[in-house]
């Protein structure tokens, strides 16, 4: 299976990041999961939230080989919804029944699509994703960024998005 899926998390669905991923996803003809529509609560050491939407969303992601993590840059990091989702992958480390799900992330390819009001995505933002992917055993496929300082202006990103889409299409599944 060579298909990708987008995991989207912004404080608004139709803002800069939403428009950016709608364009990318429609070109790739892939599905977008909007984390704001899901009931996923913050990491809990006691795992009382184990029956929320985290595992179903993760199971959905696991049927794809390429996962695009989509978020605006909020205070040098991802959106709160994206951070919550990433925190929850810790469930795989300490709930015995879930360890196998965590292992199935290995060798999938992870990408980032992001927007901010800076020329480029902050390196600490990209690096925190890269380190997380590495820890989870995922391959890193690259990122695409839109500078929305003067609003969302699609024509400015055509070249970068083309390259990003080509790299996803060319990347063979493991």
Ligand X SMILES: Cc1cc2nc3c(=O)[nH]c(=O)nc-3n(C[C@H](O)[C@H](O)[C@H](O)COP(=O)(O)O)c2cc1C
- Please say which residue, 107 or 124, places its beta carbon nearer to ligand X: 124
- Please say which residue, 36 or 90, places its beta carbon nearer to ligand X: 36
**Angstrom distances, CA of residue 104 to CA of 41, 69, 83:** 22, 17, 20
> Minimum distance from CB of 172 to ligand X (Å)?
31
Cα 26 from Cα 58, distance rounded (Å): 22
Query: Looking at beta carbons, which residue is closest to ligand X?
Result: 15
DSSP letter string, 65-119: SEEEEEEE-BTTB--HHHHHHHHHTTHHHH-GGGHHHHHTTTT-EEEEEEEESSS
Q: Which residues bind ligand X (CB under 6 A)?
A: 10-12, 15-18, 72-76, 115-118, 148
> Minimum distance from CB of 123 to ligand X (Å)?
12
> Minimum distance from CB of 79 to ligand X (Å)?
7
- The residues, any chain, with a CB within 8 Å of residue 134's CB and separated by 6 or more, are 140
- Please say which residue, 155 or 174, places its beta carbon nearer to ligand X: 155
> Minimum distance from CB of 102 to ligand X (Å)?
28
- Please say which residue, 85 or 92, places its beta carbon nearer to ligand X: 85
> Minimum distance from CB of 146 to ligand X (Å)?
7
Q: Interhelix angle for 158-170 vs 16-28, to 10°?
A: 50
- Please say which residue, 15 or 102, places its beta carbon nearer to ligand X: 15
Backbone angles phi, psi at 107, to 5 degrees: 75, 0
Beta bridge partners of 140: 110
- 164: which 2 tokens? 């990003």
| Tokens 């500078």 sit on residue | 147
């Amino acid at each position: 299976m060579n298909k990708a899926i987008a995991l989207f998390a912004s404080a608004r669905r139709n803002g800069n990041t939403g428009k950016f991923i709608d364009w990318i996803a429609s070109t790739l003809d892939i599905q977008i999961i909007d984390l704001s529509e899901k009931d996923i609560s913050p990491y809990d050491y006691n795992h009382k939230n184990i029956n929320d939407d985290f595992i179903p969303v993760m199971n959905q992601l696991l049927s794809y080989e390429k996962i695009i993590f989509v978020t605006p840059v909020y205070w040098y990091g991802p959106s709160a919804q994206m951070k919550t989702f990433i925190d929850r992958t810790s469930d795989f480390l300490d709930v015995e029944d879930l360890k196998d799900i965590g292992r199935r992330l290995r060798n999938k390819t992870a990408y980032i699509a992001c927007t901010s009001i800076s020329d480029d995505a902050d390196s600490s933002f990209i690096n925190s994703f890269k380190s997380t992917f590495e820890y989870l055993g995922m391959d890193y496929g690259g990122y695409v960024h839109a500078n929305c300082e003067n609003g969302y202006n699609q024509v400015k990103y055509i070249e970068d998005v083309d390259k990003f889409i080509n790299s996803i299409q060319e990347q063979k599944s493991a």
